[in-house]
Amino acid sequence: MAAGASGPTMTFGRKKKTRSIWDDPDAVEVIEIPLEQLHPNPFNPRLVYRDEDIDDLTESIKAEGGVLQDLSVAEVEGFLEYWRARLAETQPEKLDELEDKLGSVPAGDYVTLIGHNRAISLARAGHDTAPCKVTNSKIPRARLLGLPENMRRIPLNPIEEALGFQGALDDGMLQAEVAAQTGCKQPHISRRIKLLKLPSELQKAVMDGLAVSEAEILLDRLTTREQLLQAWLVMKEEGIKAAFAAARVLSPPAPTSSKTKAKTKPAPPVPQQQKHSPDEPGPEGAPATGANPEEKKPSRSVLGASDQQTERTNPEEQKEPEPDPSAEAAQLRVQACRTVLELGVPSNPRETLRLLAPALLAAPSKAARETAHEWLRSSAKPIGPDAAKPDKYFAEVSASGDAKLTAHVALAVALAVAEQRASTANRPWDAQDRDYLAHLKSAVNYQPTEWEQDRLGGK
C-alpha cells in the first residue's frame, strides 16, 4: 500500500456495493492545517506507537515529498458538542476522559479522525502543515474511524483492535456492521472483544506479545480475576502453557509433608487436687490434709494407666512421626492425574496408547473404576454424565456415542489403573511404572520425588 494509506480493504457484498465510512459523501476541499492545531482522536484505540513504524512512514513521506492521502479532521467545537451529549446519555463515566483529552483545546483547532500516524510522521519529516479534509459529518463515527488507523501498514495489537471494536459497538453499531466496514470477519471481532474480560495485567501481556490463543484458553477455563492472575503468574514463573497453568489453578498441588505435618493428640492434663486448709475436711468428708501431706499422696501403684502415661509423658516433648515418602509421592501423583484430566486427552495418540494398553490388558478393577469416576466427577468442571454410581456412569458414557468423552474417560481409567499399580506396596517398579511417570512428566511437567527416582533406579 502506498505511503499514508489509512484503512484496510473494504469487504462488500457481491450484488450491492455498500458505501464505506471512509468515503466522503460530498466533495470536500483540501486545506493545509498547521500540525500544532491537529489533536488525536480521543477514541483512537491505538495505545502503542512504535518508533520503527513511524520512522518507516517518515522515510516514505520524505521520498514522496508528502503524504499520498489527505488527513480527515473535524472541528473540535462540533466534536465536543456532539460527544458530550452522546456520552452523557450513554456512558457518563467516559466524560472525564473526553474532557481530559480535548476540554482545554483552543477553539478553532481540529480533531484528527483519520491520519494521526501521518501527522506524527509529517512532523518528523520536517513539515509544518498537513493536507486535510474537514469532514464534520464523520463525527458520529469517530469511535470506529479510530480503529483502522493504518491498520494494514501499522497493525493494531489485539487489545487495541478489541478497544476499537468495542467502541464501535458502544456507538450503536452491530458486529455485522463493524465487520462489513472493517473487512474483518464477525467471529474475529467477537474473539477480540472477549479479550477485554482479561485483567489489565494480562491485557498488557497480550500487547507485549502473549499469544491470543493462550489468553483465550485462560478465559475459556477460568472464571474469576484471581484465577486468571494466578494462572498468569504460574505461566511466567514456570514457563508452562496456559492449559497447564489453568489446570494447576483449578486443581492446586496437594500439600507435602513440609507443609502439613502429622498432628498428635496431646495427653489430657493431670487434674490437680483441690487444696484445703489443714483444719478443714476434704471433699465429701475426706480427711483433712494435715501435717504430713506425703501420707495423703496416692502411690504410683494406685494410679490409673492413663494417669501413669500422663505423668511419664510431656505433651511438648512428643515427637511427630516421620512422613511416609511413599504416601507423599502417591498424593503428588494423584494430583498430577487430576491435572492431566483437566487438560483432556493428549494430542499424541501414541503416547496415550502406551498408557491405555496395559490398563486394558489388566482388566481395570472395581477400585480403579471407582477412582477414575471420583476424579472425573470431582473435577472443577465435572466431566461426563451426572451419575453418582460408577457403573451407571460408565454405562452412560459407553451409550453416549461421544468419541471424545469416551477417550477422556478411558484415559482416567488408565491413569487410575497405573496409580493403583504404583501404589501397591512391596513390589518393584518396572517399565509400566516408568511409562506412567513419563506420561505425567510430559503432560503436566510432573517432577518425581527422590523416593520415586530411587524406585525407578535413579532414572
pLDDT in tens, the chain (459 residues): 333 333 333 333 333 334 444 445 444 789 999 999 999 988 877 776 677 778 888 898 888 888 888 999 999 999 999 999 988 988 888 899 899 999 999 999 999 998 888 899 999 999 999 999 999 999 988 887 766 554 555 678 899 888 888 888 887 778 888 888 777 888 999 999 999 999 999 999 999 999 998 999 899 888 899 999 999 999 998 888 888 888 778 765 544 444 444 443 444 444 444 444 444 444 444 444 444 544 444 444 444 444 444 445 555 555 566 678 888 889 889 888 888 887 777 666 666 677 777 777 778 899 999 999 999 988 777 889 999 999 999 999 999 988 888 888 999 999 999 999 999 888 889 988 988 898 888 777 788 888 999 888 865
CB-based contact 384:409 (threshold 8 Å): yes
Please name the residue that has the C-alpha cell 473435577: 379
Contact between 242 and 202 (Cβ < 8 Å):
no
Considering only CA atoms, which of 400, 396, 399 is closest in space to residue 387?
A: 396
- How many of the other CB atoms lie within 10 Å of CB of 301? 6
What does the alpha-carbon distance between residue 305 and residue 315 come to, in Å, rounded to a whole number? 16
CA pair distance 401, 381, nearest whole angstrom:
21
Give, in degrees to the nearest 5, the angle at Cα 214 between 227 and 403. Answer: 95
Residue spans of alpha helices (H) in 344-449? 349-362, 366-377, 390-400, 403-423, 431-444
- Angle (CA) 22 38 170, round 5°: 50
- Could you tell me which of 92, 133, 98, 130 has the C-alpha nearest to residue 113? 133
Q: Is the pTM of this model over 0.85?
A: no
Rounded (10°) angle between helices 242-250 and 325-343: 120
Task: Answer whether 83's CB lies under 8 Å from 61's CB.
Answer: no
Calculate the CA dihedral of residues 294, 300, 304, 309 and round it to 10 degrees. Answer: 120
* Per-residue b or e along 202-220, where b marks 16 or more CB atoms closer than 10 Å to that residue's CB: bbebbeeebebebbbbbbe
